Amino acid sequence: MSRRKLLVPEARLAMDQLKAKVSGVSDPKEAKFEAAREQGIPLDNGYNGKLTSEQAGKIGGRMGGNMVKELVRMAQENLNKK
């Protein structure tokens, strides 16, 4: 799993949980594999140097895009409560 440096390191657990939620899995470590399966991309544990840039981008882009959509939805819901 990619470990990008977060501006707020304490948010790691929440971000991992969000990633699992939008991917429809219970374990955040399985999120990228689920996204790859849905796209028909052969992602394995370990080295994946055989993937093209396009394939890798489809996995990350799908997950990131869905996470942003969910965060926006959550923010709108929170604003409507106030």
| Tens-digit pLDDT profile for residues 1-59 | 456 688 898 999 999 999 999 988 999 889 889 889 988 999 999 899 999 999 988 88
| Residue 62 within a domain | yes
Both tokens of 40, joined, read: 């028909």
pTM above 0.75, yes or no: no
Query: Is the residue at 2 inside a domain?
Result: no
pLDDT band at 63 (very low <50, low <70, confident <90, very high): confident
Give me the sign of the Cα torsion angle 61, 46, 22, 72: negative
Q: For the chain, how many helices (H) and strands (E)?
A: 3, 0
Assess if residue 39 is contained within a domain. yes
Domain count, the chain: 1
Q: How far apart are CA 5 and CA 12, in angstroms?
A: 9
Does residue 5 sit within a domain?
no
CA atoms of 12 and 41, how far apart (whole Å): 26
- Listed residue (6, 73, 1) closest to 36, CA to CA: 1
